[in-house]
């Protein structure tokens, strides 16, 4: 027991006790009671401290978690920003590539259309001696095929690349079949009657 506590209790109790009372016995009781009270206080204080420690730990953990979240967010945000930038770059590249592809396709289609138009006009001119003017068609092959069919040429199994030569041959054959127009005797007689001196004309002086 603490001597200081005993002295304080003795000084406090002495005026309150009767003259014949055992002061020392009362002091010991008071000290024991005080010790018990201190023990109880310690017991009650320890859970409170533990609770405070738990609260401090929770606060610290929460703060650490928040720091970790902030750190993760900070790390995540640049990563997300980089992803967004990459997506924007990809979109930009994709858009540029798409525009380029569309432009090339349009140019190619225009060239093909112009080339097809030129070939159709050439085919129309080539078959005119054979069948005359033809109705507008979509391709030169159609023009040549139509001319050969109308001329009675068999083109079954023939590749369209041979059509132009076959048209030329058909025109040549057609020209060879045309009869030579000869002047008959009646025509000669009528000419002589109209110009009786035609056969006697002389050239020069």
pLDDT (0 to 100) of residue 175: 85
Query: Is residue 180 in some structural domain?
Result: no
Angle at 194 between CA 192 and CA 200, to 5 degrees: 50
Query: Is residue 29 in some structural domain?
Result: yes
Query: Is residue 194 in some structural domain?
Result: no
Query: Which residue ranges of the chain lie beneath pLDDT 70?
Result: 1-41, 43-94, 97-101, 178-205
Q: If you compute the radius of gyration of the chain from its CA atoms, what whole number of angstroms results? A: 63
Structural contact between residues 143 and 134, judged by C-beta atoms closer than 8 angstroms = yes
Query: Is residue 123 in some structural domain?
Result: no
pLDDT (0 to 100) of residue 161: 93
Query: Is residue 47 in some structural domain?
Result: yes
pLDDT digits (tens, 9 = 90+) for 72-120: 555 555 555 566 666 665 565 567 766 666 777 777 778 888 888 899 8
The domain in which residue 38 lies consists of: 3-57
Query: Is residue 104 in some structural domain?
Result: no
Domain count along the chain: 1
């Amino acid at each position: 027991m603490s001597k200081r506590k005993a002295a304080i209790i003795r000084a406090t109790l002495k005026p309150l006790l009767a003259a014949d009372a055992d002061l020392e016995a009362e002091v010991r009781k008071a000290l024991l009671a005080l010790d018990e009270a201190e023990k109880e206080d310690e017991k009650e204080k320890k859970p409170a401290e533990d609770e405070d420690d738990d609260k401090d730990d929770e606060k610290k953990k929460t703060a650490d978690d928040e720091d970790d979240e902030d750190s993760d967010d900070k790390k995540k945000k640049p990563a997300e920003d980089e992803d967004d930038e990459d997506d924007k770059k990809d979109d930009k590249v994709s858009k540029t590539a798409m525009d380029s592809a569309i432009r090339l396709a349009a140019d190619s289609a225009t060239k093909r259309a112009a080339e097809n138009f030129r070939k159709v006009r050439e085919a129309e001119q080539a078959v005119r001696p054979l069948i005359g003017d033809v109705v507008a068609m979509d391709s030169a092959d159609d023009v040549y095929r139509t001319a050969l069919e109308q001329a009675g040429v068999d083109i079954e199994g023939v590749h369209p690349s041979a059509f132009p030569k076959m048209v030329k041959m058909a025109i040549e054959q057609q020209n060879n079949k045309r009869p030579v127009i000869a002047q008959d005797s009646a025509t000669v007689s009528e000419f002589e009657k109209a110009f009786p001196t035609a056969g006697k004309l002389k050239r020069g002086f």
